[in-house]
Structure 1
Amino acid sequence: MEETSIKPSSRKAIKYRGVECLNCAHPLDLSDRFCAYCGQLNTTKRLTLKDFFSEFILSVFTYDSRFRHTLKDLLFKPGTITRYYVDGKRFHYANPFRFFLSASIFYFIILGALSFFGTEELDSPIVNMNVNEDAIVAIDNALQDSIPNLKGVPAQFNDDIQTAIQEAKKESKRKREENATLKDSLGYKYTAQADMDTLSNISQFFKKFELFRDFYEVTDIDNTAMALDSLKYDKTRLNIWLYDKNYAIERVEKDPLRFINYMASKTPFFLFFFAPFYALFFWLIYSKKRANYMEHLVFIFHIFSWIFVVLLLSLIPDFFISNDNIVAAILLTLIGPFYFYKALRNFYKQNRVITLIKFVFLNIVFMISTSIFALIFFALTAAFY
C-alpha cells in the first residue's frame, strides 16, 4: 500500500532502487527505501534539477521542523527538553551545541543590523560641557580642609586623627615628588634590561609593560624595533608583543565602544568554553543521579540557548523603546531564576527543598566562576585585540 503511493518518476520508486548503498556500500534489499547503516536514500536515479531543488526544500523544512520543536520546548518546557533529548527522543530536536551556536550567532547578526540602522550622530554632552576648573579646585580644597570631628570621642583623639591624616597627605605628596624627580631627566622611569632580568617573571611582565607604555607616551615612537633599540632591549617575542599593545590601548582609548562590541561578539565562544567547567559542578552535586557528564553539558547548553533566545526576542522591543536592553534585563531578571529552578526540577527530578538548595548553591558557583572566567576572557580578548 505504501509503495503504490510513490510516483513512478520519483527517486524513491522501486525501479530505481539498488542492492547496495551508493554511499557506504552496505547491502540492501529492493524493499529498503533507505540504507539501514548510514540513512541515505536507496536510489540509482541520476540527479535532475527538479530532484535537486526538491531535496533542498525538503531539507530546509526538515531543519525548520526541528528548529520549531526545539524553540517551543526550550521556551515552555524548561528541563523537559533536556530530559527528552538524553532519553533518546532526539528526532524532533536540533543538536544542543549547534542550536546554541546558531542562536548566538543569529543574535549578534540581528544586533549588528539594528545597531547599523539605529546609529545617529549625537553630540556627547560630556565632551561639549564647559568645565569650570576654578570651581573644581575650590570644591577639592573645601573637601580636603573640611575633615569633620567624630562625635562622642575625646578631643585629643580627634586631634590624633587629624594629625595622622595630615601625615598621610605629606607622605603621599613626597612619593609623588620623588616619582616626578625620577622621570624628570627622560620623561619616564627607565630600568635597564640587566636590572629587569633580576626580577621575577610576573614582576618583569608588569614592569616592562609600564616602561614601554611610558616610553611610547613620551616619545610617540610607533616603530617597535626602533623603540626597543632606543630602550636597549632585546627584540624577543614578549618584548615585541608588549610594545605592540600600545597600539591596541590607543585604539581602545580612541574608540572604546568598538572594543566593547568586539569583546561582546566573542561571548558565545566564551560561554562555549566555559560550559564544560561549569558542568563539573553539576556532575559533583548530582553525583548520585544517573546523568553522566555529557548529559549535564547538554542541560547547560539548553540553558545558555534559552538566554540567547530571550535576548533575540527582546531585540525588537528594546530597539524601539531604548538602546539600554531594558526588556532583556527585565525578562532575564524576573523569569531567569524561575526558569532555571524549573529546569533543574524537571530534568533531575528531585523534591522542591533539595532542588532549591542546589539552585542557590549553583547560582553562587555560577557568579563566582563567571567573574573569574570573565576576567580571564577580558585579558585574553585585550591581549589579541
Structure 2
Amino acid sequence: MEEERVIEAMSKDKRKWRSERLSLLGSSIFAEVAAWKTAAAASGQDIIDLGIGSPDKPPTPAVRQVLSDAALRSDMYAYPATRSGLPFKEHAAAWMKHRFGVELDPVHEIVTLLGSQDGLAHLAMALCDPGDTALLPDPGYPIYTASLALAGVEAVLMPLREENRYMPDLDGIADEQWDKATFILLNYPNNPISAVADLAFFECLIAKARKHNVLVVHDLAYSEMGFDGCEPPSILQVPEALEQAVEFHSLSKSFNMAGCRIGYLAGNREAVGALRELKANIDYGVFDPVQEAGIAALREAMDVTANVPKAGKLYEHRRNRFIDALYAEGWHVPAPKATMFVWAPLPPMQWTLSERWTSRTISQEMLKRTGVVVVPGEAFGTEGEGYVRIALVEEEERLIEAAKRIGRFIRGE
C-alpha cells in the first residue's frame, strides 16, 4: 500500500497544469520584449516605448462625458445582454453608410464585440471545425494564428513581400488550397506593415473567393488612419461583397478608445450570426456605458459641424517628423501610408555585435543601449525577419529624441 501511495504521489507531481495549446498562441517574442524593457528600466534607462500600438491620447471630451454620465446611472449595471444592444449597432450601421456608402441590417449583419480582437480570437471557432484550413498573411497580427490554434484549424500562410507591394499573390495560391480553405483573412491598412489596398484589389479578392466559395475576413481596424489624403476603403463597398465577406471594425484606434474594448463585425449574415451565437455562450456583451460612449464617438464622427479631425492626422504629422529625424541620423525608412506604425528594414549598423544582426538582436541591443523599445519583425511571422515595427505612440519631442538615440546606436557611439 505504501508503495502504491508513493507511485500515486509521483504521478501527481508529474501532472502538468498547462495545455500544449498555449505553446501555439502568439509569439514568445512579445514576452521577451517585456522582459528586456523591465531589465532596461531597472538599470536606470529612460524608456521610450514605441513597442505596443496603444493610442496615447484619450477620446474627445464629449465622448468621455457621455461615458461618465452613463456610468453614474443606476440602470446601467445589469448584464448588457438583458438589453437589446440595438442602438449601438444602429449607429455602427449609420456610420458605415456615412463613411463607406455601405447599407447594413444592424440586427442581422452586425455583432458588437469586446474590441475587434475578441472577435478575431473567436471567429475560427464559430466558422470552422478542427482540421479545417484558413489562409492567413505572413507577416500578420499574432491573434490571427493564435485564433486558429485555439480552434484546431490549420493555417496556410501567404507571404506579404515588398516586391508585390505587400499584397498576397492570389493567383499563386494553389487551387487545392483555395478549395480547402474556409476563409481567407487580410488586413489593410496593415498591421504591422502599414500597406494599404484599393478597391481594385478587393474586387479581385472577392471574385477569387466567390470562385472557390471561401469567406473573406477583412480586419479594418485602421480605417481612419490613412495619410496624404488616403481614405482606406471597406471591402464591403465591392458589389455583392455581403454575400462573401465580413469585416472587423474597432473604435480602439479610430476614436482612442482602446481601453474601452468595443468594436464590431459586419457583413455576411450567416458568418455574423455564427459569431453572435458563439459569443452568446461566452460573455454578456459590452458594458452599456461603453456602448453609450461608442455611440457618442460615431455620432461625433458623422457630425460635420463637430470638426473633429480623424485620428490619422496626428499620426501623419508624427510620421513626418520621425521619418525626417531618422533620415538625418542615417536610417532611411520608407514612409508608411497609413496606421500608427513604421515598418522599417534593419538599420545600416556601423559596428557589429556578432556576425549577423537579426530583428531580435538589434531590438534587444537597441533597448539595452538607448532605452527605445521596438518590436522585432519576427514577432509577426517568418516574413517579418529583417524588419522592426515602430509605433508612433509618443509625443513628437520624444519621437525625435528616440531617433537621435537610435542614430547614436547605429554609429556605435
TM-score category (smaller protein)? under 0.3
Tell me which structure has the larger Cα radius of gyration: 1
Structure with more of its chain in helix, by fraction: 1
Relative contact order: is structure 1 or structure 2 higher (C-alpha 8 Å, sep ≥ 6)?
Answer: 2
Structure-2-length-normalised TM-score:
0.21
